[in-house]
Amino acid sequence: MARTQYKIQEVGLYIKEKIDISKRPIVDDKLSTLEVMKKVKYFQLHLDYKEMCYVIYVNNADKLLSIIKISEGSDTNATVSIKQIMQGALLQNAVGMILVHNHPSGNEKPSDKDIKLTNRVRKCAKMFDIELIDHIIITPDDSYSFEEDYSPKKQKQTFIENIIDETEKIERDILKKQLKENEDFYKKMLDEELLFERD
């Protein structure tokens, strides 16, 4: 009985142009991400037209490995596949990545879906020892960084600061009340002394 011959499909990452590592930019924060994304012509041309999601992959020195478009949608949303995000990271042995997408509406603030996506990608990447450096939302006039504006550490710090402010306010109110009570007490004492002297 003759054996059936199978063909195996090989999956790999295609890089259009190999650039020397010394000439690659460092991408590790909001500012450097915005600079790199300015050079992605398709993204810039459609920034206020439809939502797109890109991922910037970097090595252990934060040197740019590649920029991959993960999805492209309508003027209000773009479906993002975490599998595709991780596939890009694993095929080129990335150590870190930055998620980038735009809001054609011009509102740079993240939606609930954006926050959930960020948390899911971060958890998934952590399983492979890959760091989600940031998730940046870009609009024609502004930008939003999860690391700078929404990181759990900063949220915790803000929460603590709010508690301190509230505590200080309560303490000030208590002190004001005590001073007022003391003032009323001494005023009453003074009035009684004057009455005593008159008698």
pLDDT per position as a tens digit, 21-30: 777 888 988 8
- Asked whether residue 96 carries a pLDDT value surpassing 70, the answer given is yes
C-alpha to C-alpha distance for 7 and 107, rounded to whole angstroms: 49
The pTM of the full predicted model, rounded to 2 decimals, is 0.68
Q: Check whether residue 183 and residue 197 sit in a common domain.
A: yes
Structural domain span for residue 162:
151-199
Is residue 4, in this structure, part of any structural domain at all?
A: no
Q: Check whether residue 121 and residue 192 sit in a common domain.
A: no
pLDDT per position as a tens digit, 128-160: 999 999 999 999 889 999 988 765 555 555 555
**Considering its fold, how many domains does the chain have in total?**
2
pLDDT per position as a tens digit, 166-197: 677 777 777 777 777 777 766 766 665 555 55
Is residue 135, in this structure, part of any structural domain at all?
A: yes
CA angle in degrees (0–180, nearest 5) for 12-15-21: 120
Q: Check whether residue 177 and residue 143 sit in a common domain.
A: no
Q: How confident is the model at residue 59 (pLDDT cuts 50, 70, 90)?
A: very high
Is residue 57, in this structure, part of any structural domain at all?
A: yes
Look up the CATH number of the domain holding residue 62: 3.40.140.10
Nearest 10 degrees: Cα torsion 61, 64, 68, 69: 110
Q: Check whether residue 129 and residue 53 sit in a common domain.
A: yes
Average pLDDT over residues 99-120: 90
Is residue 17, in this structure, part of any structural domain at all?
A: no
Question: Which is it for strands 52-58 and 64-72: parallel, antiparallel or unpaired?
Answer: antiparallel
Q: Check whether residue 122 and residue 167 sit in a common domain.
A: no
